[in-house]
Amino acid sequence: MVERYVMSVDQGTTSTRCMLFDHGGRLVSVTQREHKQHFPRPGWVEHDAMEIWKNLERIAPEALAQAGVVPEQVAALGIANQRETSVLWDRHTGRPVGRAVVWQDTRTDALVGELSARPDADMIRERCGLPIATYFSAPRVRWLLDNTPGLRERAERGDVLFGTIESWLIWNLTGGPKGGLHITDVTNASRTLLMNITTLAWDDDLLAFFDVPRAMLPEIRPSTETYARASRVLPGVRIAAALGDQQAALFGQTCFAPGEAKCTYGTGSFLLLNTGTEPVPSTHGLLTTVGYQIADEPAVYALEGSIAITGALVQWFRDGLGLIASAPEIETLARSVEDNGGCYIVPAFSGLFAPYWRSEARGIIVGLTSYITKGHLARAVLEATGWQTREVVDAMNADSGLALKALKVDGGMTADNLLMQFISDVLDVPVIRPMAAETVSLGAAYAAGLAVGYWADLEGLRRNWHRAAQWLPSMDPGRRETEYDNWRRAVERTFDWIKPAGK
Partner 1 sequence: MACVPGPVQSIERAAAILRLLARGSGRLGVSEIAASLGLARATAHGILRTLQGVGFVEQDEESGKYQLGAALLHLGTSYLDVNELRSRAINWADALAARSGEAVRIGTPLDGRVLVVHHVFRPDDTLQALEVGALLPAHATALGKVLLAFDAGAAAALLETGLESFSRRTITHPRELSRALVEIREMGWASEVEEFTVGEAAVAAPIRGQGGLVVGAMGISGAVERLCDPRGRPKPTLVTYVRDAARAVSRDLGASRW
Ligand X SMILES: Nc1ncnc2c1ncn2[C@@H]1O[C@H](COP(=O)(O)OP(=O)(O)O)[C@@H](O)[C@H]1O
266 lies in the site for Mg ion, by CB under 5 A: yes
Instruction: Name the binder of 311 from Mg ion, ligand X, partner 1, none, CB < 5-8 A by kind.
Output: ligand X
Binding positions for Mg ion, 202-261, rule CB under 5 A = 245
Q: Apex CA 352: angle with CA 303 and CA 500, to 5°?
A: 125
Of the residues 148, 315, 373, 397, which one makes contact with ligand X according to CB under 6 A = 315
13 lies in the site for ligand X, by CB under 6 A: yes
Q: What are phi and psi of 188, to 5 degrees?
A: -70, -40
Secondary structure, 3-state, 312-332: HHHHHHHHHCCCCCCCCHHHH
Q: Which is nearer to ligand X, 167 or 439 (CB)?
A: 439
Taking residues 1 to 30 in sequence order and writing x for each that binds partner 1 by CB under 8 A, - otherwise, the string is: -----------------------xxxxx-x
Side chain identity at residue 430, one-letter code: P
Compute the distance between CA of residue 266 and CA of residue 246 in angstroms, rounded to an integer. Answer: 10
Compute the distance between CA of residue 49 and CA of residue 47 in angstroms, rounded to an integer. Answer: 6
434 lies in the site for ligand X, by CB under 6 A: no
14 lies in the site for ligand X, by CB under 6 A: yes
Compute the distance between CA of residue 167 and CA of residue 91 in angstroms, rounded to an integer. Answer: 12
How many residues of this chain interact with Mg ion, rule: CB under 5 A? 4
Side chain identity at residue 150, one-letter code: G
Instruction: Name the binder of 303 from partner 1, ligand X, Mg ion, none, CB < 5-8 A by kind.
Output: none
Compute the distance between CA of residue 461 and CA of residue 260 in angstroms, rounded to an integer. Answer: 15
Of the residues 84, 166, 185, 331, which one makes contact with ligand X according to CB under 6 A = 331
SS3 content of the chain, % helix, strand, coil (to 5): 35, 25, 40
For residue 137, give every residue at least 6 positions away whose Cβ sits within 8 Å of its Cβ, in sequence order, or none: 84, 85, 86, 162, 164, 191, 192, 193, 194
How many residues of this chain interact with ligand X, rule: CB under 6 A? 20
Binding positions for Mg ion, 412-451, rule CB under 5 A = 440
Q: Using alpha carbons, list the distances in angstroms from residue 337 to 297, 330, 343, 344, 347.
A: 52, 12, 12, 15, 21
**Bridge partners for 304 per DSSP:** 272, 287
User: Using CB under 6 A, which of the segments 104-112, 178-186, 255-263, 311-319 binds ligand X?
Assistant: 311-319
383 lies in the site for ligand X, by CB under 6 A: no
Taking residues 243 to 282 in sequence order and writing x for each that binds ligand X by CB under 6 A, - otherwise, the string is: -----------------------xx---------------
Compute the distance between CA of residue 241 and CA of residue 247 in angstroms, rounded to an integer. Answer: 12
326 lies in the site for partner 1, by CB under 8 A: yes
* Sign of the alpha-carbon dihedral angle for 232, 234, 238, 239: negative
Shortest Cβ distance from residue 319 to ligand X (Å)? 9
411 lies in the site for ligand X, by CB under 6 A: yes
Taking residues 358 to 397 in sequence order and writing x for each that binds partner 1 by CB under 8 A, - otherwise, the string is: ----------------------------------------
**Bridge partners for 7 per DSSP:** 20, 77
Of the residues 210, 455, 471, 487, which one makes contact with partner 1 according to CB under 8 A = 471
Of the residues 329, 339, 394, 428, which one makes contact with partner 1 according to CB under 8 A = 329
Collapsing DSSP to helix, strand or coil, 398 comes out as helix
Taking residues 402 to 441 in sequence order and writing x for each that binds partner 1 by CB under 8 A, - otherwise, the string is: ----------x-xxxx-----------------xxxx---
311 lies in the site for Mg ion, by CB under 5 A: no
Q: Using alpha carbons, list the distances in angstroms from residue 35 to 15, 47, 51, 56, 311.
A: 6, 8, 7, 11, 16
Q: Which is nearer to partner 1, 61 or 328 (CB)?
A: 328
Compute the distance between CA of residue 186 and CA of residue 176 in angstroms, rounded to an integer. Answer: 22
491 lies in the site for ligand X, by CB under 6 A: no
Collapsing DSSP to helix, strand or coil, 117 comes out as helix
Of the residues 155, 413, 429, 452, which one makes contact with ligand X according to CB under 6 A = 413
* Contacting positions for ligand X (CB under 6 A): 12-15, 266-267, 311-312, 314-315, 327-328, 330-331, 411-413, 415-416, 419
* Contacting positions for partner 1 (CB under 8 A): 24-28, 30, 325-332, 412, 414-417, 435-438, 466-471
* Contacting positions for Mg ion (CB under 5 A): 12, 245, 266, 440
